[in-house]
Amino acid sequence: MSDSSPSSGAVLTVPAGLAGAERKPAAESYDKDELMVQQQFDELLERCAPICKSEEDYDRIRQAFYFANEAHKGVKRHSGEPYITHPLAVARIVVVEIGLGVKSVMAALLHDVVEDTDYTVEDIEHRFGAKVASMVDGLTKLEGAFSQDISKQAENFKKMLLTLSDDIRVCLIKIADRLHNMRTLGAMPKHKQMKIASETIYLFAPLAHRLGLYTIKTEFEDLSLKYRFPDEYNQIKQKLADTEPQRLQFIEKFNPPIIEKLKENNIEFEISGRVKSVYSIWKKMKRKQVSFEEIYDLFAIRIVFKPSPLIPEKSQCWHVYSLITDIYKPKPDRIRDWVNIPKANGYEALHCTVMGPEGIWVEVQIRSVRMDEIAERGFAAHWKYKMEGKGGGEVGGDNELDQWLAQLREALNSPSEDAVEFMDNFKLNLQVSEIVVFTPNGESKTMPKGATVLDFAYEIHSKIGNRAIGAKVNYKITPLYAEIHTGDQIEILTSQNAHPQVEWLDHITTAKARTHIKQFLKRDGENNILRGQELFEAEMKKRGVPLQARVFRKVLPAYHSSSKDEFYSKLGAGIIRLDGLDKILKQNAASKIMKYWTLQFANPFRFLSSSSGTDGHSAEADEYEYVMAECCNPIPGDEVVGFKMDDGKVEVHKKNCHNAVKLSAQHGDRIVPAKWSSEKVMSYLAVIEVRGIDRVGILYDLAKIISGELNINIRELHIHSHDGIFEGTISLYVRSSEDLKVIMDKVRSAKGVEKVNRTEASMVD
């Protein structure tokens, strides 16, 4: 930029009323912090050149900076830097990485002023206008105390999302705020890292993906993994660095024929190789139970072309595809056509997988310049092109992203008394693996992968869903709970006598269906809950058993209920009976009860309190009883984390357990850092899956290896055979993850056994 640029080193004038915020006339008069802040602000102004249409725009950004700088004066971040560096960084992300405008930059600079200082939203409105004040208000956390059964995190998140009805930019600025917090998370204490990283992977990464911010979503995932599982993150990152020369060598063989072909056809393009993210590699390793070396699709080739204005972009994508497949043969079942039917987050591209040199399959992604900008910048770029009326046909219309926003606004306007439930329903709205199905008249509907007939019924209309009894899928009668697939044509069958049932909640995947079913059941079920509670309390009174948390930990899973209200409702409606209650109450808890120990106790587990120092060695630590979570069955050697429950006990989960991530995102203040201490002879339940070639005596051999040779107690063994293949699960008691590894290696060596895995908690998508 020239010296006359608004972002040059000229002296700036401070708006009236901000005494003490004047700039120093020369760099020598700055201390080190002031100089750093000024340099960062000058860089921000340079980056704002594309969005500032006049000197007035620059002045408004300057005024917001001066105001925020004065408001945060003297405050430091955990890293030791002046606090104002955080709003500056957020504003830079907003303009450079997301592509928002002047008001968004101002709101980013001011986003913590109301929360952290004595200034109010009214002060912001008086100085900067109603729109900027409204955005800052949406970004400001809730004040006041919350009772223990309310998640403050969920309430804050809900408040932010409620502003979505008016201004999507609030969400985008919040994403920028979270991105900078994640980039600087190393300065925070370990338990804070766990809380923030879990919130990020549970909600912010899916939200960024749904809004089309693929690059930011990927960084969220990688940084979350870095702080939740640092060793695994560093190992994968190192292996990617070690194998980079081989990848580059392969690309040098793969790309030249494509480059030559595209040039022959006078196509302007850029071609690049994109390596899979650390998180996506880690997730695939866990899901498929394979090593890094067994993952072959570590990278993809991306072609971004400049389209001819005379030919539709879709046609040009397919032209590029045909040129590539003239060179390399495609894999027919690996074509992903997101140019004719874009993803719900606005993503458009054509993906194919071709056989490259040396017999290696390679994914090739084909995009126009417009598609690429939308893929990288998401919602902001989508709206830019929509307003300009450019692009591939659907951009000017009501596309999938607009439909999703309309659905989200509908959900946000629905009454919800429980912020945690609201958060969970919103999480369902963020699903991005999609299928496309059709109504009887040929209208297409995008649904999440795994959706059922019942989900589709509610997608059409809540009245259709509430009266649904089945469907005709591709002209065949199909039950409500059947999963639907891409290309299905679905006609919903209804009856005036039908109405939602509690068990419907177990057979849906969409937030829309869940919301409408729960609303109906709530109206219909309040009496059932009261009746069920009276019945259960009477039965427990007969037995002289007090209604404690340990009772519900046995009863709820036994009756397939996720909460007391669900259990009471089912009981009151006559869906369940209390047959077998005595047997259930007599069962031992699946977890052992242990203590929150200090150094002098030689017990197998030690919890670390936040006041204990880095190694948790504190003689002053409070004592807690704890239970092992049944959802993931942690054993010594697993990385674990604890959560304080309402009854004062601590529930221990494996760190990669889906429920652990969910609890961290919703109740981060209940996290109790935990680690294994000195070992004691004690057994823990673990489950392994086995698969292989069926033969006579395989069951005997497995039992002999586990119980005979290794002297391990088997709790349950389920094996079934089909088409010459056997598969099943073995539940057994072990002392540690190392012991389990020995057992798995031994079982794996048995004749005919092809695969042995430990069953893991479900991964976070």
Tell me which residues are annotated as active site. 115-116
- At 304, give phi and psi (nearest 5°): -115, 115
Residue carrying the six token digits 């004749």: 751
Dihedral (CA of 734, 739, 740, 742) sign: negative
Side-chain half-sphere exposure of 578, counting CA atoms within 13 A: 17
Q: State how far the Cα of 271 lies from the Cα of 259, in Å rounded to an integer.
A: 8
Question: What is the token pair recorded at 594?
Answer: 């242990």
Alpha-carbon span 11 to 66, nearest angstrom: 13
Please give the radius of gyration of the chain, using alpha carbons only, rounded to the nearest integer. Answer: 29
Give which of 272, 277, 295 is closest to 209, Cα–Cα: 277
Residue type, 72: H
Beta strands in 597-679 (DSSP E): 605-607, 626-628, 640-644, 650-654, 671-676
Residue 440: both structure tokens together: 């009887």
List b or e across 308-328, with b for residues whose CB sees 16 or more CB atoms inside 10 angstroms. eeeeebbebbbbbbebbeeeb
The CA distance from 16 to 490, in Å, is 65
| Burial of residue 752 (number of CB atoms within 10 Å: 0-12, 13-18, 19+) | middle
DSSP assignment of 132-147 equals HHHHHHHHSPPPS---
Structure tokens at 712: 């391990």
Across 266-299, b (16+ Cβ under 10 Å) vs e yields: ebebebebeebbbbbbbbbbeeeeeebeebeebb
Cα–Cα distance, 683 to 677 (Å, whole number): 15
End-to-end Cα distance, the chain: 43
The secondary structure of 421-453 as a DSSP string is HHHHHHHHHT---EEEEE-TT--EEEEETT-BH
